[in-house]
Structure 1
Amino acid sequence: MSPTPEQRELVAQACRVLAARGLADGILGHISLRIDADTLLVRCRGPRERGLAFTTAADIHWVDLDGAPAAPDELADGHTVPNELPLHTELLRRHPDVDAVVHAHPPTVVAADLAGLLVRPILGSFDIPGAHLAAGGVPVYPRSVLVRSRALAAEVSEAMAGRPVVILRGHGLTSAADTVERAVLQAISVDTISRISLQVASAGGTLVDIAEEDWADLPDLGGSFNVATSWRHELARLHDCGC
């Protein structure tokens, strides 16, 4: 099964969303989408690399789990797969329910972790999906290495312990989901919680988790709202800024 132009454009849009949200300001970071059991689309770096904010569908290439072109014309234009491709492929190998992986370098997430601030459910209706994500825990991979081997990627996968997002200490985060949209939105939620946690701590405040009795009134509003509507908003933001 070959990828469609729409799938390439989705990954490209998602890269621009990451950049617009400040999770990937420069040239580092990448997103992948599973195409079948043995191949994926992934954001690659080209000979005239300009950064994630300027990603187009031409930067999204179809490769196998070892990073080799999945079709003769893939990577023929000088693009190369990410050094950290194993972050994507190892999660896809190990988790059949994962179809999309985001790796980004959000400064606020890195800073909050280095300050010793865990991602906790401090926000309620402000971001209900984020609250539930935080309540389940966001683990930390404690090594600040370039994850360019299957062995290191396996360590990251084990550190995730089945959770959808893991923080990579002094590095960034990795988010995995069934769709590109959900993987990006999860990363945005973790970034938002980290940013507010830093603001509270720097103001001399104390982080307090949501009261137990409040959870009953923080329902899952469903994918059509949590994902579809939220994603339309992200794309509208891109359009509004001309990104």
Structure 2
Amino acid sequence: MDFDRDSVSRPFAEERRLVAEACRVLAARGLADGFLGHLSLRVDDERLLVRCRGPQERGLAWTTADDVHLVDLDGMPAGDAELDGWTTPHELPLHTEVLRTRPDAVAVAHAHPPAVVAADLAGLRIRPIVGAFDIPGARLAAGGVPVYKRAVLIRNRALAAEMTAAMGERPVVLLRGHGLTSAGATVAEAVLNAISVDQIARLALTIASAGGVLSNLPAEDLAELPDLGGGLNHATAWRHEIARLPHTSDL
């Protein structure tokens, strides 16, 4: 199966493949199962690769390296023919403002997970309700997942600045009535953080619908959770996400 047959000669070919795979992971996990959502990867101080929309848009589940284009922080093409027939996301400022203001961020994922939106609207915060079920997720939730309270399309720098202010130094921010934005030092980290938040939101909704009461993991249990290291938390977890992607013969 060849997801990138037309892009092998372009600059950053491997990075384009990685962004495309990450988009398919978001779709496979149900975080962006339509045609909305996107992911970006910084390649240097002034340029990023971002999933764009072309004339035959099919949605994130069918993203290929040909959908990923090189632009500058103002959204202008940063290479020959980069945007011929393609358009950057309307919410590109969401990505570029994070990359401008967060030197620790290399990748940014934006998705519309229904469970995350529903849990937030129901007043259910993302909190450390689980332990060894998802250790990275428990630690992320314990640090806090802030909420940007405007349900708007983040289509300019002013709105993006509001979002990044709400996000602060945290890796994930919820966007009320909208979705989430997740940043990471790698593409895998940005996506895996989003998956963890979605899993906790799903569990919270299930518990609440069953009449249960959400409570935080005891501090002593949280402290007991080991750091299993990036080899398991990121590398192995990411190989699993790639391996579980549907085999789609027409890509």
Identity %: 68
Deviates most, 209-218 or 55-64? 209-218
Say whether residues 1:138 and 2:145 are aligned partners.
yes
Q: For 1:32, what is the secondary structure of its paired residue?
A: strand
**For residue 50 of structure 1, what is the amino acid of its counterpart?**
R
SS at match of 2:199: helix
SS in 1 for 2:188: helix
Matched AA of 2:185: D
Match of 1:75 in 2: 83
Q: Is the 8 A contact 1:3 1:41 kept in 2?
A: no
Is 1:214 paired with 2:233?
Answer: no
* Residue 111 of structure 2, aligned match among 83, 104, 117: 104
Contact 1:176 1:183 in 2 (8 A): yes
1:39 aligns with 2:59: no
Q: Which residue of 2 aligns with 1:154?
A: 161
- Alpha-carbon shift at residue 214 of structure 1 (Å): 0.8
Contact 1:121 1:131 in 2 (8 A): yes
State the TM-score, normalizing by the size of structure 2: 0.94
Letter in 2 for 1:51: G
Q: CA RMSD in A?
A: 1.3
Distance of 2:168 and 2:11 partners within structure 1: 30
Q: Which residue of 2 aligns with 1:28?
A: 36
Q: 1:239, CA displacement in angstroms?
A: 5.0
When the two structures are aligned, how many residues end up with a matched partner? 241
Aligned letter for 1:83? H
Deviation at 1:240, TM superposition (A): 5.7
The 3 A distance-change label for structure 1 pair 199 and 224 is same
Asked whether 1:171 is paired with 2:178, we answer yes
CA distance in 1, matches of 2:155, 2:103: 21
Q: CA deviation at 1:97?
A: 1.4
CA deviation vs aligned residue, 1:172-229 (integer Å, no higher than 9, x gap) = 0000011000000000000000000000000000011111111232011111110000
CA distance in 2, matches of 1:228, 1:184: 12
Q: Is the CA contact 1:15–1:30 (under 8 Å) kept in the aligned structure 2?
A: yes
Structure-1 separation of matches of 2:155 and 2:170: 21
Equivalent residue in structure 1 for 2:70, among 62, 69, 82 = 62
**Any idea what the Cα deviations from partners look like across 1:10-68, whole Å, max 9, x if unmatched?**
00000000000000010000000001100000000111100000000000000000111
The SS at the match of 1:36 is coil
Stretches of structure 1 that go unaligned for 5 or more consecutive residues are none
Asked if residue 53 in structure 1 is aligned to residue 61 in structure 2, the reply is: yes
Answer whether contact 2:97 2:164 (CA < 8 A) is retained.
yes
| Amino acid corresponding to residue 31 of structure 2 in structure 1 | L
| In 1, Cα distance between equivalents of 2:11 and 2:210 | 48
Q: State how far apart, in whole Å, the 2-side matches of 1:64 and 1:161 are.
A: 23
1:100–1:176 CA contact under 8 A, matched in 2: yes
Q: CA deviation at 1:144?
A: 0.3
Opposite residue 43 of structure 1, the aligned amino acid is R
| SS of residue paired to 1:122 | coil
